[in-house]
Every structure is written in C-alpha cells, then in structure tokens.
Structure 1
C-alpha cells in the first residue's frame, strides 16, 4: 500500500515533467484533481486564479510573494495566449520598459486586444491585468520578447503619449538611444502623416545628442510637405549624457540612474569626516566589530548563526570535521565563509586606506571576496566548484521583490560600467550608497549578493573616512523596503537616509 510520501512523490514526478517541458503557468487540465490537491496542500504549487497555478516552494511562508513575482511574466504570457491567441500585446509604454531591459513586475499590466473586456483581472499581491478593447498595431509593428507580445521599439516611440516622456524620462531616453538610424522611425512617421509626433521625436532625439537622426526626421518630413515644430517632450534636465550608437541600453540606463541618484545622495547622506583615518587604528576597530557584523549580516540572509559559533570560527576552534555538532551544517559553512571573506575585505581596506582608488581596489578584489565567501561550502560539497566561477549564468529572483535583476548576459556589460562609476565618482557618500545599491540591483551572483553589497558599502565607507557600519537584522524590514523603493520606483532617498542614520549612529524610524 502506497504511503503518503509515495503519493506525494508521484505527484511531484508529474510536476517535474511539466517543468521539464518549460511549463510555468499550469492549467488545471494539466494535473489530475488528486495531484493538484496534493501539491497545493504540500505547498508545491499555488493558485493564481481559478484554474491556473504556478510552482512554489513549500518552505515559503503563508502570503509569500517570491514564487508569484518569479512567475509573473511567464504566467501572463501563457494566460493571455490561452485567452486571446495571438491577438494581444502590451501597450507602448510597458513595451518600452521591457525593450530597454526593465522587467520589474508592474502593479497593473495594460494589454491591448480587440477581444478585451475593459476591466481588470485581479492577481496575487495587488497585481492585475487590464485588457483594453482596442485594435492591435500592424504585425510589422509588433515583436516577441520571451513570450511577451510587444510593440516594436520604433512603433512604441511613435505611439507613446507626450506624458510618457515626463513620467518615465529614463526609459524613454534609453529607448531613443537604441535607435541607430532615422529610417527606423521615418517610414512610419511619413506613412501616417505624423507631423506632430515627428516634431516631438526630432526634439527628443536632439535633446540626447542624436543630432543626425533629429535632422533627418525634420528634413524628410519637410521634404514631404509637412510643417515640423520641434517641441522637446522632456521637462527634466538630463542627468547624464546618453550614448547613441554606443553602449547597450543596460549601460545607458545605469549611467543615467547613477547620475540622477547621486544628486539625491548628496542632499540626504551625511558629509564625510574631514580627517583621513589612521590605517592601523581603523583596521583594529573593524576587527572589534567583526562578531556583531557577522551575526547581523548572516542573520539578514536567513542563516541561523550564534555568536558562539562565530567566535569559534574566528578563534580557529571550529573543526569542519565535527560539523555534526553544529545545529546546521550549511549555517556553519556560511559563518566560516564570512570569516574568510571578512579577512580578504580587510586587505582591500588596507589598500584603500593607503590612498589607492577605492573603485580600482574593489574591482580587482571583489572576485576574491566572493570566492572566500563560498569556499568552505565548496570544500564540504554543499556547492560545486563551478559555483565559484564568478558572475551568474542564468536568471535570479530576489525574495519578495518586484525587481527583476538584469539578464545574465547583461551582467557582464554592467559590472565593468559599475566599477567605472566607482573609480570616477569624486564624492565618498555617493560611492557608499550607490556602491551598495547598484551592486544588489545588478545582482551579479546566484547567491551572496546582499553580503557582497554590504562589504562593498563598508569598503566605500572606509574610503570616505566613515566608520565600518553594521546593518542590524532588527532593521531588515526598513532596509529591504528602502532597497525596493530604489529598485522599483527609482527613489534612492529612503536608502540614502537609512544608511546615513546608521552611519551617524542615530535610530532610523523603520
């Protein structure tokens, strides 16, 4: 007679078969009622709407959002295709977000379809789909990205309303910089007689330095008999030079994000001490804070470590061959890795306190920090040696966050650009706040990004003469909320204030 474990294993086999076929949005017809109820009860799937499910982790707490956010785009594309076939696409503004590399989960996904019901469909965690009954653009004006039907770049730039340039200037400037030649938009402008839009786009291209494209649009429209009045749709001052025909949209977005956020950091983060710290005294203070730092940093990541374990690791009294005596082997490996990485970070601090460029030092050394962080887990077989190879080679999702980190192909473009900013940034406060935030925004590793971000923050604090600063686990909620505001809403102020409060030793309100 089959045991409950045997029955669950049988259901998991069915789920595994679906996942092996690439199925993320699971329809009720793809699972028998018995398997479906068993998997639901055990927490291996969650119901999105009636008749639709996505995989989940049974160890996630009730109401956890991670499985939903990780499945959002695949679910929406599967559901919309099941409902509307090929007769749907996202609106032009959300198409531009995805085309420029921003896959943040939106609060409401606006879908255009001639079969729309003009009403919202509620989805988990305050998200929704709103299908608008409207004709689709021509097939030549649409494209597919990872199963999501979008406006093409040129068609989206023509279709977006003027208000989009004021509401989403970073995305629109990034999109404009992706246009390589005026011919990409001119055909549509001429065919539709879009003289007003042509004037708006010509001025927008001119504002980002694409003079040739702007001149070609204005010249071609005038030659066709249209009167062109160029009106710049952007109302803000650009914070960074966009590089048409140059870097990828990811790098343009990073450059503009850095320049835009730095102005806010300069306002809200405390000014650095005027005196440069003495190296040996500073490193002694860092040693003194190690136990506290390790406890809180590891606890933020969900590891259950005690100060006793941390002390044994530091003193060398910890024996990896007797790990069974510790409550959790994985936690013990994390504690040992943190100790090893901490020692390597201190070497970087010594170089920085000797006056070397902090951006150059961390670019050279951060790979060694990461390898030390996970070396004990590799040695004991928890991780594979390949896990120390470096930046991630696949997708990664942040627990409970709507922010979807850039594709792994983009990470190899973004990390050199990130270190370029750290090298060139003249202000210590900006290096502190954006050094941490941008690293975790890129999320270059499968694991350890939070710990690496806090190491990066403290290396930049040392460069500015600020003290090594611990983020308490008791403040985890405020810390994660501030990072979420910066990642999803582009608002760096809460994060700059949060870190600033800790650096000054004052109590934050969160």
Structure 2
C-alpha cells in the first residue's frame, strides 16, 4: 500500500478520533476504511462498526476493545433505537455503583423491535428484548447510556442478584440518603410486594431500621398488604459499616477491603509466620536489590540484564561517556528502579528508627518514590516533566484485563480512602496483601503501578518484621492471574495464598542466612 494513501487515511482517522474511538463504515471516505483495516488501525466489532486498534496488537489482545466497549454500546444503541431503550435493572445498577468490570453481556430493554442477541468480539454480546407495555418509567442518562434510575434498579433486581451481589447492593443503598425516592418507585408500580420486602430487609440488615420501617408502614398503608423484613443476603453481617460516605468509588474500596480482609485472615491461619528483627531485615535489602530489580522490571516487560543492574548500582552507568550505555527505555528504567529502591529503603529506615506509622509515611512519601522511578526518563527527555506532577489525568486500560481502573476524577478521593484503610488495618500482613492489590486496582499513575504496588507491599512487610519478598518473573502468569481473580471475580484467596507463600519462603531464607 502506498504510504501516501495510508497517510491520508490516518489523517481522516485522527480527525474522527476527536469524537471517540468507535466508528461506522460511512464515517470514512473513499477507500480509507480498507486501508486502515489492512494496516491494522481498525478492528471489526460487528458488520459496519469498528474500534480503533494498532498494527502491533495481537489478535487476542482485548485492550482497545475494552477501552471502547461502553462507547460502542452507547453509540450502537442510540443509532439503532433512537433513544427508545434502557439497560436492564442489573446492568443499570452496576453502572450506578461504578463497577469496574467489563461484562460479558449487557441486557437491553427496548420500546419496539424483536428479541435478539448481538454477538460482539472477544466473547461479549448484547441481549435485546422489547417491553412495549412495561418499558421502564424511571430512565435516566449515565455515561451516555439510557439506564434505569438507581432506585428503580434496586427495586427491580431479583432475589438472586441480591444474593450474588451483596457488595453492589450495599454500595447502592449507601448512595441513597433519603428513601423517599425508593418509596416513589415501589408505590408507582403494581406487584412490588417481594421487592418491598427485599429492600426493607436489606435496609434493616445494614443498620437502617428506621428507613426500613418507614417504607414498610407507608407501603402497607397504601396497598393494604403486609410486608415482612427478611434478610435477602446469604450472610449474617453487612460488609460496609454505617457511614455518611456517598461516593461509590470510596464505598467500593471500603466494601472490598472489609470483605477481603476476612478471607486473608482465614488463609493466614494456615501459615506460621513470625516477625523478625527489623534492623536485620533492613540491612538485608541491599543484598536483595539485584534480584528484586531484575524480576520486578522483567515482570513489567523490560529487558534488563544483571550486568546493567550492577553498573547502575555501582555508579558505572554513564550514557554521556559510554555509547553502549545509551539512554534506552530499559536502561532508564533500571536507573529509576535503583533510585526508587533507595528512597523506599530510606522510608523504611525512618519508620523503624523513629517508630513511625508506615501507612502514614506511605501517604506522605509515595509520590517521592514515583518521582525517583521516572526521574532518569525525565532528565533524558524521554518523558515530559508533567508526568511527575502527581496522579494520572487520563483514563487507563489494562492489557488483557476486564478490570477498568477508576476514572481520573476519582483518583484523589480513592487514594485518600486507600490510605485511611491502611491506617485502620491492624494486621500488617493484611495491610501488605490488600495494600498491594488495592494500589493496582486503583492504578493511580499512568505507568509504574505494578512496581509501586510491590514497593508498598514490601515497605509494609519489612517495617513490620517480615522479609522483603521478590516475586519472580517465572511466576508472572500465576501472579497476574491471581490479581485478575481479585479484581474481576471478587476472589482474593488465590492472591493471598500466593503472597503468603512468598512471605513464608522469604522468611525461611532470612533465617538460614542469619544462623
């Protein structure tokens, strides 16, 4: 293909991208669509619809599809139904509570049309069905999509959803300050007896008995039917504590932490881990640096040799005088890792000697670690200085993961809650495991989140009397799968077992070296 033709096609693509990353065939003029598809800049979703891609992207890579997933759903449904649709109660509620997971299927209710399933790419789909007589009344717009209101969603989801998604129901209830809006939905519909019982039972379960009784009495007065308050969940205690918090992102972190810590504590009972002398663990860090740098950088895809790490450590890496020490991405990453490692070590030393709180020190100093991690890339001109300004100011998507990190506007508040949860946690091993996972879950920076999460974990471990853990690149697949299960499936057990196993091995090695 002549470069001139592709260049013109890319110019048109660039102009279209000002409106998003999902396109229809008719958006392109001439043969530009053909050129862009052939070059790998566009991938087909369904006939006539495309999402942005990259030539180097593998066929099974879901990153660009997940990045454009909700944009496609919004544009496709609007184009096909001209606004006369709504997502079903389950999908609506998950969007209201800011679920971070890309669903395999979205169910859509329409005012007209036929029942049908639309197969998309990478195992995703839309299931569409008409409800001409009972189309949802309480429809609102959220992120460009027609959804049922939060209150209507709570009233319409069924018994199984309550049982399987207790996290989401508790978050949704916490977002509603005044239950008048729930009453309005319940009294504006027929046959809402079961829904009223579920909601009243759920409100009582989470400690809002006065609200439960208000709905019960009003509903009974209006309908002349008795309402029983039955716990709709499969557990006997709520996950969230009573709070004035209304931010769904903050609520999600709280519910995750309180749910996950119970699992970690159960797994922890299987391990006999004893705290070691902290000063010895601190002194041992220098011995672990080379292997830690090699494996941590390799996990992130950098090609770093032990020789390069030695040169950086000994101050022999000098790209100005030695042409072989050129300012490559790998070399700059190695230098940045060394500077960050030294900063982490200094933080740990201060916490140990001055008997400070590590969670408090993390809140104050994690930006310093991040700055050191990318300082060489800034100095070299590879990155612009604004990258060190703080948390990310763009949305990020994780390669191969169904988890979508929080949007940029939620990061500051999310990190504030994150450090509050760290501070409140009494068990240092729970701190380390959930501190690692939650940091990656929030993904506060544009890059370096994996390295930062492992630094956080190890800072919490060493300052509490446990040996520095090196996660080996050979274990990368298991490590990443455990993280995915925790982020997407809501199951922290595998990740807890993986990390506690590494802590146990590291502790044994420490004891052998000090005998």
Please give the range of the TM-score, normalised by the shorter of the 2 chains. over 0.9
Gaps of 5+ in 2: 507-515
Q: Is the 8 A contact 1:88 1:136 kept in 2?
A: no
Structure 2 CA distance, aligned partners of 1:370 and 1:358? 17
The residue that corresponds to 1:217 in the other structure is 215
Q: 1:211-360 residue pairs with structure 2 within 5 A?
A: 211-224=209-222, 225-243=224-242, 245-269=244-268, 271=271, 273-279=273-279, 281-321=280-320, 325-326=324-325, 329-354=328-353, 355-360=355-360
Does residue 101 (structure 1) correspond to residue 101 (structure 2)? The answer is no
Change (3 A) 1:180 1:267: same
Structure 2 CA distance, aligned partners of 1:398 and 1:316? 34
The residue that corresponds to 1:155 in the other structure is 152
Structure 2 CA distance, aligned partners of 1:137 and 1:399? 40
Change (3 A) 1:155 1:42: same
Tell which deviates more after alignment, 41-50 or 369-378: 41-50
Structure 2 CA distance, aligned partners of 1:378 and 1:51? 43
Which of 56, 73, 76 matches 2:73? Answer: 76
The residue that corresponds to 1:436 in the other structure is 436
Change (3 A) 1:277 1:78: same
Q: CA deviation at 1:250?
A: 1.7
Does residue 383 (structure 1) correspond to residue 383 (structure 2)? The answer is yes
Q: Is the 8 A contact 1:180 1:244 kept in 2?
A: no
Change (3 A) 1:344 1:138: same
Q: Is the 8 A contact 2:140 2:148 kept in 1?
A: yes
Gaps of 5+ in 1: none
The residue that corresponds to 2:2 in the other structure is 4
Q: 1:449-460 residue pairs with structure 2 within 5 A?
A: 449-460=449-460
Change (3 A) 1:136 1:502: farther
Change (3 A) 1:32 1:4: same
SS of 2:239's equivalent in the other structure is: coil
Change (3 A) 1:239 1:470: farther
Which of 114, 122, 131 matches 1:134? Answer: 131
SS of 2:188's equivalent in the other structure is: helix
Change (3 A) 1:59 1:322: farther
Q: Is the 8 A contact 1:89 1:136 kept in 2?
A: no
Q: CA deviation at 1:239?
A: 4.8
Q: CA deviation at 1:64?
A: 1.1
Q: CA deviation at 1:136?
A: 7.9
Structure 2 CA distance, aligned partners of 1:226 and 1:219? 10
SS of 1:121's equivalent in the other structure is: strand
Q: CA deviation at 1:324?
A: 5.3
Change (3 A) 1:322 1:126: farther
The residue that corresponds to 1:407 in the other structure is 407
Structure 2 CA distance, aligned partners of 1:267 and 1:195? 39
Change (3 A) 1:239 1:209: closer
Q: CA deviation at 1:246?
A: 2.7
The residue that corresponds to 1:67 in the other structure is 64
SS of 1:192's equivalent in the other structure is: coil
Which of 7, 26, 29 matches 1:29? Answer: 26
Give per-residue Cα distances to partners, 1:314-360, cap 9 Å, x unaligned: 11111243585347622221111111100000012213333422211
Structure 2 CA distance, aligned partners of 1:246 and 1:290? 41
TM-score normalised by the chain length of structure 2: 0.92
Does residue 191 (structure 1) correspond to residue 188 (structure 2)? The answer is yes
The residue that corresponds to 2:512 in the other structure is none
The residue that corresponds to 1:206 in the other structure is 204
Change (3 A) 1:322 1:39: farther
Structure 2 CA distance, aligned partners of 1:327 and 1:304? 14
Structure 2 CA distance, aligned partners of 1:187 and 1:259? 32
The residue that corresponds to 1:367 in the other structure is 367
The residue that corresponds to 1:494 in the other structure is 494
Q: Is the 8 A contact 1:87 1:136 kept in 2?
A: no
Change (3 A) 1:305 1:328: farther
Tell which deviates more after alignment, 367-376 or 35-44: 35-44
Tell which deviates more after alignment, 10-19 or 243-252: 243-252
Tell which deviates more after alignment, 220-229 or 155-164: 220-229
Structure 2 CA distance, aligned partners of 1:490 and 1:457? 20
Change (3 A) 1:318 1:426: same
SS of 1:76's equivalent in the other structure is: helix
SS of 1:467's equivalent in the other structure is: coil
Q: CA deviation at 1:274?
A: 2.8
Tell which deviates more after alignment, 392-401 or 10-19: 392-401
The residue that corresponds to 2:467 in the other structure is 467
The residue that corresponds to 1:110 in the other structure is 107
The residue that corresponds to 1:49 in the other structure is 46
Does residue 179 (structure 1) correspond to residue 176 (structure 2)? The answer is yes
Q: CA deviation at 1:40?
A: 1.9
Q: CA deviation at 1:28?
A: 1.2
The residue that corresponds to 1:425 in the other structure is 425
Q: CA deviation at 1:132?
A: 2.2
Give the number of equivalent residue pairs: 502
Q: CA deviation at 1:381?
A: 1.5
Change (3 A) 1:40 1:233: same
SS of 2:316's equivalent in the other structure is: coil
Q: Is the 8 A contact 2:333 2:374 kept in 1?
A: yes
